[in-house]
Amino acid sequence: MVKGYCVKCKEKGREMKDVSIKQNARGGYMGQGTCVSCGTKMSAMMSKENAEKAVASGEAKKAY
């Protein structure tokens, strides 16, 4: 599962659902989804390797 920081829950390592991997203007990768407990939008910066692993395993969908 892709994990990130939830601003509303104020908790690190919170799991995300409905994750889509996007590429920003500088070439970095970002996972965007919603918090499983409160439903707030979340983002997590990722390396290229981790982004490709998440897409290959089916945890996230490719949006770039």
How does pLDDT run across 4-26, given as a tens digit for each residue? 999 999 999 999 999 999 999 99
Task: Classify residue 21 by burial, with Cβ atoms within 10 Å: 0-12, 13-18, 19+.
Answer: buried
Task: Classify residue 48 by burial, with Cβ atoms within 10 Å: 0-12, 13-18, 19+.
Answer: exposed
Query: What pTM did the predictor assign?
Result: 0.80
Of residues 49 and 1, more confidence is placed in 49
- In this predicted structure, the answer to whether residue 1 has a pLDDT above a threshold of 90 is no
- In this predicted structure, the answer to whether residue 50 has a pLDDT above a threshold of 90 is yes
- In this predicted structure, the answer to whether residue 58 has a pLDDT above a threshold of 90 is yes
